[in-house]
Each structure stands twice: as C-alpha cells, then as structure tokens.
Structure 1
Amino acid sequence: MSIPSFAIGIAGGTGAGKTTVSRTVADTVGEAVTRIPLDNYYEDLSHLAFEEREQVNYDHPSAFEWELLREQLDALLSGQAIEMPQYDFEVHNRKDERITVEPTDVIVLEGILSLHDDAIREMLDLRVYVMTDADVRILRRIERDVIERGRDLEGVIDQYLETVKPMHEKFVAPTKKHADVIIPEGANRMAIDLLIEKVQAELPADSIRDEEFDRELSFNEPAMD
C-alpha cells in the first residue's frame, strides 16, 4: 500500500477554478494523484427538513465536519484507506453511500476553505490559492448551480449576495496569506504547468517509471475494431 509523499491544498473563492486546477493536475500526473473534494465534508444534515437545509450558510467554516476531514486526511497520509462521504448538492445533504479511497503518492485537497484549518494546513506540503476576479467567479457560480445542480437563478443570486460574497471576504480571501503559490485567473495554463512539474518532481522514482510504463503500453496496444 502506497504512503503518500506529497499533500497539496488548493483553495480559492467559488468559481475561481480550483476544480479545474486539481483535475488538470490529476489527469496529467495520472493514478499517482488522489483528489479529495472539501465539499464532501459538509456536515450531515439528515436531521433537518429540506427547507431548513436550504437556509444553511454553506460558505461558513461551521458548515464542514472538520474533525472527520482531519481524521481521514491523516489516515491517507499514514497509508490507510478511508471511506469518504459523498454529497448531493440538489438535496443539500450527504448521500447514504461512501466510497473507498486508497492512499496514493500525491493527495490533493480542493475546496474554498482548504487552507482555513490550522491542523489541516500543517498536513500540507504545498498550499495553493487560486485567485480570479469576482465578476468571473459569480458568472461561473450561476452557470454551475443553475445548469449542473438544477437550482433556480433567483435563489442562486440571493445566496451569493447574502452568504457567498460576505463569507468569501471574511473567511476565504484571508487564507491567501497562507499560500505558497498563487495561481491567477484560475485556468492560467503556465501556472498550472509549473504546479504539475512540482508535483512530478515530488513523485518517487518508481511511481514515475510505472506511469511511463503504463503510457508506453497504451501507445503500443493494437487498435480495436
């Protein structure tokens, strides 16, 4: 079983491009990377009615189950598998099922408050903050919540003005001071490429050889009819 050698936290405001960065790193580096979305660690609100769950401030640090995240991140970094919770954004609650996550050489924690908790920051080898203009972020937020998560436009705008924006200013933006690397404009390809190079440089030599071997096999496989 692999014991991770490198842990990265990727933070930033809603719609900043955190997921794009983390997915690009994972897709480029390959199976040596495991992504841990912070959103999966929203508190279990099964005891609340749907209407009550709609009113919860999901951009406040209190919305997350930090103790569970600390325990599971520590387990992964110790070479132990975890049962990671899953989250359903349409019903504002956790799903019943969990998924087994095995430790890999690189662990990437991604979410708005990935750099907020002191204990979690101590577990990270590299802290990244993705910074994007507010007008771009709100447009991305509207597109995501309305199209991908099935929410109504008026509700998304109200939530942004009432909680998302003030919580960003109070809790998210200040975590930028903890970052080792700041990526401007979210999908800045040059910055992402530099991050990927850093991750690849931290991989154990045997992992790099395995990745290269897998790619060589895929290139040499005969085409299927």
Structure 2
Amino acid sequence: MPNTKLVISLAGGHATGIVNVARKLQSSIAKFFSDTTVTIIDLDEIAKDNAERTYSGLDIDFDELYFDLKNITHDGIDIIIICGCYALYDKRINDISKLKVFLDSDGDKRLINLILKEKADTPDKLSALIAEYMDNLRPEMIKYIEPTIAHADLIIPYENEEMGFQIILDGVIKVIDQIDGGKKKHTATPVWDYENERMDVQKERYLDLS
C-alpha cells in the first residue's frame, strides 16, 4: 500500500489532558491496526523547551513543524497526532488536518489541574504557580489559545473526555477502513454512525457535546 498520511490535531487549554487523550488514541490504534504507524507531536513540550518563552504562537516553529510533517514517511498509513495548546493555531496545519479537536474546560479547573500536575504542595510553590498562571498562562489562553476553538471540528468538554475519545477513535478507524478498502481486520465496534463511513460527514453533529 502506498504511504498515506492522516493528521489529527488535538488542542485545548493548559492542563486539560490533551496528551493523555493522544496517548490513549495511539495505544488503541496500535491494537486495532498493527501495521499503522502512529506518531505523537507534543507542541507543549516544544514550547516548554523554548528558553525565552513569549507565551504565544511564536514559541513554536510552525515552519519547521510543517516541513517535518511533509517528510514523515513510513510504509502503509501514517497517523500523526499533533497535540497541545497551539494545535489549531497554524492555518497550514489546520488545512492538512483530517480532524481538529478542542478539549474545553474552564479556568478554575485548569488552575486546579496545574496545581496537581506541578505538585505545588508548599506555600512558596503555590504562590509561584498562581503568579505564573495569572501573569502568563491566563492571558495566553484568552489572547491566543481560546480563539483557535473556531477552527475545531469537535469541541469536547473536559468532563466528557472519555466520550470524546471514543468519537475520535471511531472516526479514525472508519477513515483507515476507507483508505484500505476494509482490508485491515480489527475488532473495533463503531460508536457513532458516520454516513458513507467518512469522518467529515456527520462530525458537525458533535460540534459541542456540552
């Protein structure tokens, strides 16, 4: 089979479990399709490695990312999961993404998740984290990240992460079935009925699961 790329973009605010969803998706696809290569690109890690963070899309070299995406090639089907706060930020990557998802949650929950994630269990650590959130992360969310929700095909509330994951997985399975004509055998049971077995036909029905 010639190489086929399937790009999926998973975005959302800070500490909303985007990477966890991506890893679950990677694991599940690997179980269903052993000869399909699944690559995760974590944009938050790329931004974190930037020594002089601007807390904006400038923290990620989208030119390099786009070039790398074009040059990822394996035999069979390549599924590339782009995850992170800025996964829906760049127009070129949005244009080549088969499915664009925004995992939504309110600011209070994101702050609580950050406190738990960073283990801010002393007054000094907690004070520093809250200052970081108020001075940098919250403005970044409002100005740069939250507006990208307009590019999403699916908006999944944080509380419905498992349901959202099942929708994404089902859509990906159907696209792979369509690409190879159903030749790959798997035990996945469809969760949703996508007309004509295309992920982009009925996805607007699930635009906002809240």
Structure 1, unmatched stretches of 5+, are: 46-52, 81-101, 213-225
- Give the TM-score of the pair, scaled to structure 2: 0.73
- Give the TM-score of the pair, scaled to structure 1: 0.68
If asked which structure has higher relative contact order (CA below 8 Å, sep 6+), I would say 1
Per-residue deviation, residues 144-189 of structure 1 (Å, max 9, x unmatched)? 2237xxx933322111100100110011000000001111115522
Question: In the TM superposition, what are the counterparts of 1:42-61 in structure 2 within 5 Å?
Answer: 42=47, 53=51, 56-57=52-53, 59-61=55-57
Matched, 1:209 2:189: no
Question: In the TM superposition, what are the counterparts of 1:85-104 in structure 2 within 5 Å?
Answer: 104=77
- Give the match for residue 21 of structure 2: 21
Question: In the TM superposition, what are the counterparts of 1:141-160 in structure 2 within 5 Å?
Answer: 141-146=114-119, 152-160=125-133
Structure 2, unmatched stretches of 5+, are: 188-210
3-state SS in 1 of match to 2:119:
helix
- Give the match for residue 206 of structure 2: none
Give yes or no for contact 1:127–1:181 (8 Å, CA) kept in 2: yes
Matched, 1:5 2:5: yes
User: Are the structure 2 counterparts of residues 206 and 153 from structure 1 closer, same or farther at C-alpha, using a change threshold of 3 Å?
Assistant: farther
Question: In the TM superposition, what are the counterparts of 1:83-162 in structure 2 within 5 Å?
Answer: 104-146=77-119, 152-162=125-135
Q: CA deviation at 1:17?
A: 2.1
Q: CA deviation at 1:105?
A: 2.7
- Give the match for residue 69 of structure 1: 65
Per-residue deviation, residues 52-107 of structure 1 (Å, max 9, x unmatched)? x4xx445311111222111111212xx26xxxxxxxxxxxxxxxxxxxxx995311
- Give the match for residue 223 of structure 1: none
Percent identical pairs in the alignment equals 24
Give yes or no for contact 2:102–2:156 (8 Å, CA) kept in 1: yes
Give yes or no for contact 1:34–1:104 (8 Å, CA) kept in 2: no
Give yes or no for contact 1:115–1:127 (8 Å, CA) kept in 2: yes
Q: CA deviation at 1:142?
A: 1.8
Per-residue deviation, residues 15-64 of structure 1 (Å, max 9, x unmatched)? 1221122122112111532211113433865xxxxxxx4xx445311111
Per-residue deviation, residues 172-220 of structure 1 (Å, max 9, x unmatched)? 00000000111111552222111110011111448973666xxxxxxxx
- Give the match for residue 167 of structure 1: 140
Q: For 2:40, which of 35, 43, 48 is the aligned residue?
A: 35
1: CA distance between counterparts of 2:22 and 2:48?
A: 23
Question: Segments of 4+ in structure 1 off by > 6 A?
Answer: none
Q: How many residues align?
A: 177
- Give the match for residue 180 of structure 1: 153
Give yes or no for contact 2:47–2:53 (8 Å, CA) kept in 1: no
2: CA distance between counterparts of 1:41 and 1:124?
A: 19
**Alpha-carbon RMSD:** 2.8
